[in-house]
Amino acid sequence: MISVCNVSKSFGSIKALDNISFTISRNEIVGFLGPNGAGKTTLMRLLTGTFPPSKGSILIEDKNLTQSKQIRKKIGYLAEHNPLYREMTAHDFLNYVAALKGVPWLKRKKAVLKVAEQCSVASVFNRIIGKLSKGYQQRIGLAQALLGEPEVLILDEPTNGLDPQQIIEMRKLVRELGQNKTIILSSHILHEVEQTCGRVLILNHSRLAAVLELKDEINLEEIFIDIVTKEPEPCPK
């Protein structure tokens, strides 16, 4: 479904990602783990087509992401810090996103209602987003990502700022969605990744440090600490 081949990304002299390769199968839930500055958000932005890689390619269903805007229809994105138009009502915002994602006018009302029910935001439909709780705002962010029925969901720290109850609900929702969607989520929280994902990619110092299948016998915490406490390998000259 997704194939990332030798991808590097630099911002001026700063190398944010260095020669990363992996593949993700359909209906898989994959977690990106890594300390701050490891390159998780940059990798997610590359996967949503926000900007192209400096080197390498990203293929979604064998089509190059940077060469076709239409592939973005297959992607739903919940960005870090959940950007929303805070002065809009939840209903207007979701309608707006549906229009931008190319949902036909006649099907828009139904599509908006569907995602609102899926994310339990129908009760706050006519309220101003900026006045809603963080939990509702996060759900609206997820609802906009679900609009247009994307096959791939990219969630950048989806439980960021939520209370424990909301975190549990969000994880449950992600697992449910993972039954018929490919999900990529990033997190700082090991426990969250362990509970939600089938596979984890650990990023450290802009490189892909490990790819782990999450099985019972794996001690993720131990492996993670072992990786992030290692000094970075010097770049080959």
Partner 1 sequence: MSKIIAISLRDLRSWMNNFSFYLLAAFFLGMTGYFFWSGLSYFSLVSFQVATNPATQFKNLNLTEGVFSLFMANMTVLLLLLIPILTMKSFTEEKKFGTLELLFSFPLSDLQIVFGKFFGLLAVVSILILPTVSYFFLAQVVGAKFEFATLLSGYLGLILISASFISFGMFMSSLTEHQVISAGIGFAVLLFFWIIGWVADWTNPQLGAIFRELSLVLHFEDMTRGILDTKDIAYFVFFTAFFLFASLATLEIRTWKR
- The residue ranges that bind partner 1 (CB under 8 A) are 10-12, 45, 48-54, 66, 69-70, 72-73, 75, 77, 79, 81, 83-88, 92, 96-97, 99-102, 105, 144
75 versus 185: smaller Cβ distance to partner 1? 75
Cβ at position 231, least distance to partner 1 in Å: 27
Cβ at position 236, least distance to partner 1 in Å: 21
Cβ at position 55, least distance to partner 1 in Å: 8
Total Cβ atoms within 10 A of residue 196: 25
Write out the H or E segment, with its range, that includes residue 20: strand 14-24
Amino acid at 86: R
2 versus 79: smaller Cβ distance to partner 1? 79
34 versus 148: smaller Cβ distance to partner 1? 148
Q: What is the DSSP string of 182-226?
A: EEEEEES-HHHHHHH-SEEEEEETTEEEEEEE--TT--HHHHHHH
Cβ at position 196, least distance to partner 1 in Å: 22
129 versus 227: smaller Cβ distance to partner 1? 129
185 versus 227: smaller Cβ distance to partner 1? 185
Question: d(Cα 191, Cα 176) in Å, to the nearest integer?
Answer: 18
Amino acid at 237: K
Cβ at position 119, least distance to partner 1 in Å: 16
128: DSSP letter: B
Listed in sequence order, the residues at least 6 apart from 7 whose beta carbon sits closer than 8 Å to its beta carbon are 17, 19, 20, 21, 43, 46, 53, 55, 56, 57, 58
